């Protein structure tokens, strides 16, 4: 059973377009993290959201944590080829673990 469902699994867009990807769960998380992974490398943390309804911005990336702390979204404005990568969301679990989703593979075409 996958605790975190990410959609869409794969998204290909042209440079300059906007995109939104989603991370949904039926479970409540105390916090949720977003990572980006590039080919041949390990995931790198982008942001952590803690409070329900919280919105965080990282340059052209906007992250939102749902009011009920069960879901999150990542919006990229004016996507660039450097945004290409696998975006992973991970929910904090009370037993010292992170539960990862399967990821959103984003490809930005120049």
Partner 1 sequence: NAGVTQTPKFRILKIGQSMTLQCTQDMNHNYMYWYRQDPGMGLKLIYYSVGAGITDKGEVPNGYNVSRSTTEDFPLRLELAAPSQTSVYFCASSYTSTGAQPQHFGDGTRLSIL
- Which residues contribute to the site for partner 1 (CB under 8 A)? 2, 9, 29-33, 40-45, 48, 50, 88, 90-92, 96-98, 100-103
CB of 104 to partner 1, least distance (A): 11
Q: Residue 67 in 3-state DSSP?
A: coil
Cβ-based neighbours of 71, under 8 Å, separated by 6 or more: 22, 23, 24, 25, 65
Nearest residue (CB) to partner 1, 19 versus 99 = 99
Name the minimum Å distance from CB 110 to partner 1: 25
Nearer CB in complex with partner 1: 83/91: 91
Q: Provide, rounded to whole angstroms, the least separation between the CB of residue 1 and partner 1.
A: 11
Nearer to partner 1, 39 or 110 (CB): 39
CA–CA distance, 84 with 82 (Å, rounded to integer): 5
Write phi, then psi, for 12 (nearest 5 degrees). Answer: -120, 125
**Comparing C-alpha atoms, which of 7, 11, 9 is closest to residue 109?**
11
**Closer residue to partner 1 (CB): 19 or 98:** 98
């Amino acid at each position: 059973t996958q605790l975190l469902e990410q959609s869409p699994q794969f998204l290909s867009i042209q440079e300059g377009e906007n995109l939104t990807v989603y991370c949904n769960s039926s479970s409540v998380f105390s916090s949720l993290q977003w990572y980006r992974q590039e080919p041949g490398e390990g995931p790198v943390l982008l942001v952590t959201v803690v409070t329900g309804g919280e919105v965080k911005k990282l340059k052209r990336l906007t992250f939102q944590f749902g009011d009920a702390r069960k879901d999150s979204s990542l919006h990229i404005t004016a996507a660039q080829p450097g945004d290409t990568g696998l975006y992973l969301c991970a929910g904090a679990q009370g037993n010292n673990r992170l539960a990862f989703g399967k990821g959103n593979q984003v490809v930005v075409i120049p």
